[in-house]
Structures are given as C-alpha cells and as structure tokens.
Amino acid sequence: MREKQPILQMSGIYKEFPGVKALSGVNFRLFPGEVHALMGENGAGKSTLIKVLTGVYSIDQGTVELDQRKITVHSPLEAQQAGISTVYQEVNLCPNLTVAENIYIGREPRRFGRILWKEMNRGAEHLLRERLNLDIDVTQPLQYYSVAVQQLIAIARALNISAKVLILDEPTSSLDQGEVRQLFTIMNKLKNEGLAILFVTHFLDQVYEISDRITILRSGEFVGEYLASELSRIDLVSKMIGKELHLLEEMPKGTDADALKAGGEKVLNAAGLGRRGAIEPFDLDIREGEIVGLAGLLGSGRTEMARLVFGADRADQGKLSFAGINGVVQSPRQAIDNGIAFCSENRKTEGIIDDLSIRENMILALQATQGWFKTISRKRQDEIAEEYIKALNINPPNPDQLIRNLSGGNQQKVLLARWLLTEPRLLILDEPTRGIDIGAKAEIQKLVLTLAQKGMSVLFISSELEEVLRVSNRIAVLRDRHKVKEMSGEEMSQQNVMQAIAGG
C-alpha cells in the first residue's frame, strides 16, 4: 500500500526580523483529508508561519512544496491562486456586499462585461447548501448574519476558488458552543471530501475533538509533529510551555512566598463575575499583601478576567466588590480612583507613549488622578523620576530619554513606576516580564514580592508557569475561558497546575 503523501510540506523554514528570530528551522506537513492543529504559546511562531505560507512574509531560508511541487508565493493573492486559502478570526469580507457578492468577489460571472446576477446568486445558494449545509438568502448583505455564518461564507469563498489547503486561524474564538458544533460538522464534512485543513486555536478541548494531527512550535522552533490520538493533554501542555531550568537556577530566589503576608483583610471579591463571549462566571478573592497568580495557556481567559476586575470590560454577570464596597469598579477611572492599577501585557500599544520621555511616561497616571488642571510641577516630576529610576534601577538613568529608546525590561520598569506612583491597594500585572532578559525578569519578580510584603495585593499573570509558582500565594487555573481550579500551599506544584490546565 502506497504511503499517504502530504499535500503541503514546509521544510527548514527560517524567518528573521531585526533582532528577532521568528522562525528557526521549522518543519510542517499537511495531509489531505486531515485537520492539523498548529499549537504554541504567544510568540511561538504560529502567525509568522502562516504569513510565510500565504505570502505576507518572504522566507529567508527553506522550501515550501504543494502537491510535491516547490512553490514560492509573494502575496496572499498568489497563495490563493495556488490553492491556499485563509479564514481569519476577524472575517475579512465586505459587510456591505451581499453574501453572493462576497463569495464571488473578483470572479463574478459576466457576459459582455455585465455581471450575471441570477447565475451568481444560484451558484452561491448551491455552494452553501451542498457543501456547507447552509440555507440562507444570499441576496442579503453579509452584515445581517452572525459571525459564525460569516465564517462559513468565508469558507465557501475558499471552496469556490478550489482551495487545496484551508487555513482556519482562531475561527472559534468569537463563537458560542452551538456555533462551534456547526463549524466542526462542516470541517468534518470537508475533511471527508479530502480537503487539508490547518486549524489554529488555543482551546485544548477543541483540539482533541476535531484534530487528527498536531504540530507544536515553541519560541520560533519546531518541537514536533504528533498524531492527536498518541499525544496526551499533559504532554501537549508540557511541550508547549517548555522548561528553561538552567535560567531558573540562575535567578535569585527573592523572598520565599510562604513568608508573604497573606490572610489579611479581603481587598477584592468577585462572585459569579463574567462576560458573555469573553469569560465564564468565576469567583475570586484577593487579600491584603497576597499575590494571586493566574495560570493558563494563551486564550484561557486570564487577561479577560483581569480586564473585568479593572473595569476595562463591563461584566454582564455577577458582582464585584472592592474594599467591601459593591459597584465601585465599573470603569478604569473608577478602578484607579479606588486604588486599582493595571499594567497591561501590551506595553507597546496600551502602555508606553513612544514620543514621551521616561519622566513624562512615569507621571501620566498620577497626573490623571489629580486632574489635568492640577499640573504636577516640573520640579516634582524630576524628583519622582529620580526616585523611581534609582529604586527600580532603570537604565539609562536619564529622565529625559525617550522611552522608545529603552530596552523592553526598562520600559516595563517605567510602566511599573507609573502605577506605583498612584499607591494602589491592588496591582494587576499582566505578563510583566514578557520579552525581557533574565536579569530584568528577576528584578521585577523581586519587586513584586517586596510590594506584597509591604501590604500591596497583586494579581499576577504570566505564561511562564515557573514564574507564577515562584511568586504566588495562591494560583487560579484557567482553561478555555473557565476558572477550573484554585490551589495553594503544597498543592501548588508544576505537575498539578499543568494537569489542571490540560484537563480531560
């Protein structure tokens, strides 16, 4: 019996950006009649690999073969013409055009230069009904239909241009359970017809429900390709997270978490707090001087939980009280006024102001709390900057240096200083050490421990499990937008946390 050949094979793929090796020797195979999950944490290289495959980025080194023929694509249009189509999380169709127009856009049936509307509408209806079991009015604008239906229409467009490879990039992130079932039914039907499907998701349960094969990337490198039936959930999580034990051993231990002041006054209480489509209802308490860590894979709901606590997103279920008072955190401004600070994971887009100096970035939150008509004097700004540059070891120690010229670790320290100036009772840190060197990481971890010793409460989010275990008094574990477990004391081991993340 002849061995099944991959319809797509990527070999030794390298892609480098200034100062960053995004992909380093990555291999990937896609077989016809299979759903192949591409897995990896944030920064693993999944998006870069897809962009290389679809011609958004050029390849520095390596080869791509489609149907055993080497191909080079320079744009998404060329990829589409070769038979590689992508449906993104954010549907990239035209909401003001009809369903039929979206399916046929750029390839409308014509005679003497005029579009044959009836023929196009009949073709769209037939395609949706026969291939996707979808019976809708194709003459209605796309915007009249749900996100789930819009994604099916995007898939129909890919099928209509004879795609050999269908890439589904986070297609279920905005869908409810019923819509996910509908999409999976369609995926299984297309798989049985011989289509090769590359499936990117962060939902573990969905990976094991729909996937035949799994490829794992970590830090831009190829970890391995596995049959889904032969890779346990705990092994998948372990391979995605990885371990850098030699780096951990080099890190100073800081203060023992057992010595932290946990068990003081309850600062925050969330009861059944949730937001449809973002995170399922959860309970969470944080006490004075306590560090509560949030553990989970990318997309598990950690950031969504933090944004509800800070009032950046409005909860539509449950209640939240801070310092024993209900209803005082319904917006970021109210959160700041009541002593909650939030250091976002997106320091480039939601943190630093590129064109401002270290000093100017540092005093922003404090100035906002005082009101813009009570300007902080330049003398006081200089005193603040000098104090925190010294306390946090910010380098270079020049308060007038533009923040964009600092390293990632030093930018993060400036953002920490910004929020510490507001003297918060609760500090929310979302990935405070992402993308910074090991020395800066250790400094920030020690700072967090010191702040807790002085009575500040901290909600600490990190993709690095060792880091969460290192600083936390308690850990809440999230999986697929649910808080699934809470643990403390001796129960807080790497094995137990990973098992809770893996579930199943």
d(CA 371, CA 201): 43
Cα four-point dihedral sign 241, 466, 476, 350: negative
pLDDT digits (tens, 9 = 90+) for 146-191: 888 888 888 888 888 778 999 998 888 777 778 888 889 989 999 9
Residue 76 belongs to some domain of the structure: yes
Same domain, yes or no, for 251 and 233? no
Same domain, yes or no, for 158 and 12? yes
Instruction: Please give the structure tokens belonging to residue 320.
Output: 């939240």
Same domain, yes or no, for 307 and 233? no
What is the longest distance spanned by two Cα atoms in the chain?
82
Instruction: Please give the structure tokens belonging to residue 337.
Output: 């006024």
pTM for this structure?
0.66
Is the distance from CB of 433 to CB of 441 less than 8 angstroms?
Answer: yes
Is the distance from CB of 165 to CB of 155 less than 8 angstroms?
Answer: no
Is the distance from CB of 191 to CB of 197 less than 8 angstroms?
Answer: yes
* Pairing, β 35-39 against β 196-200: parallel
Among residues 188, 214, 241, which one ends one of the domains? Answer: 241
Q: Which residues are CB-contacts of 379 (< 8 A; sequence separation ≥ 6)? A: none
Residue 427 belongs to some domain of the structure: no
Same domain, yes or no, for 186 and 323? no
Q: Which residues pair with 169 in a beta bridge?
A: 200
Same domain, yes or no, for 77 and 164? yes
Same domain, yes or no, for 272 and 225? no
Its domain, for residue 289, covers: 245-334+457-504
Predicted pLDDT at 123: 92
Predicted pLDDT at 47: 86
Same domain, yes or no, for 236 and 306? no
Q: Which residues are CB-contacts of 368 (< 8 A; sequence separation ≥ 6)? A: 336
Is the distance from CB of 63 to CB of 47 less than 8 angstroms?
Answer: no
Predicted pLDDT at 188: 93
Same domain, yes or no, for 211 and 280? no
Same domain, yes or no, for 95 and 200? yes
411 phi and psi, to 5 degrees?
Answer: -60, -40
Residue 39 belongs to some domain of the structure: yes
Same domain, yes or no, for 228 and 313? no
The DSSP code sequence of 185-200 is HHHHHHHHTT-EEEEE
d(CA 224, CA 279): 31
Report how far apart, in Å, the C-alpha atoms of 381 and of each of 30, 65, 268, 399 are.
Answer: 57, 59, 31, 9
Q: Which residues are CB-contacts of 403 (< 8 A; sequence separation ≥ 6)? A: 352, 353, 354, 356, 357, 358, 361, 411, 414
Among residues 210, 241, 272, which one ends one of the domains? Answer: 241
The DSSP code sequence of 152-209 is HHHHHHHHHTT-SEEEEESTTTT--HHHHHHHHHHHHHHHHTT-EEEEE-S-HHHHHH
Same domain, yes or no, for 151 and 272? no
d(CA 138, CA 146): 14
Instruction: Please give the structure tokens belonging to residue 64.
Output: 């791509």
Predicted pLDDT at 504: 65
d(CA 393, CA 104): 59
Is the distance from CB of 53 to CB of 167 less than 8 angstroms?
Answer: yes
Please report, for the domain that includes residue 274, its CATH number.
Answer: 3.40.50.300
**Backbone region of residue 343 per phi and psi (left: phi > 0; alpha: psi in -120 to 50; beta: other values):** beta
216 phi and psi, to 5 degrees?
Answer: -115, 130
Residue 13 belongs to some domain of the structure: yes
Nearest to 440 by CA among 411, 401, 397: 411
Predicted pLDDT at 245: 37
Residue 410 belongs to some domain of the structure: no
Predicted pLDDT at 343: 86
Same domain, yes or no, for 219 and 251? no
Residue 319 belongs to some domain of the structure: yes
Predicted pLDDT at 436: 63
d(CA 252, CA 249): 8
Q: How many structural domains comprise the chain? A: 2
Nearest to 183 by CA among 147, 215, 212: 147
Q: Which residues pair with 10 in a beta bridge?
A: 28, 64
d(CA 49, CA 34): 19
Stretches where the chain sits below pLDDT 70 are: 1-3, 19, 42, 89-90, 243-263, 347-348, 435-440, 504
Residue 383 belongs to some domain of the structure: no
Among residues 208, 241, 274, which one ends one of the domains? Answer: 241
Residue 477 belongs to some domain of the structure: yes
d(CA 442, CA 436): 10
Is the distance from CB of 84 to CB of 66 less than 8 angstroms?
Answer: yes
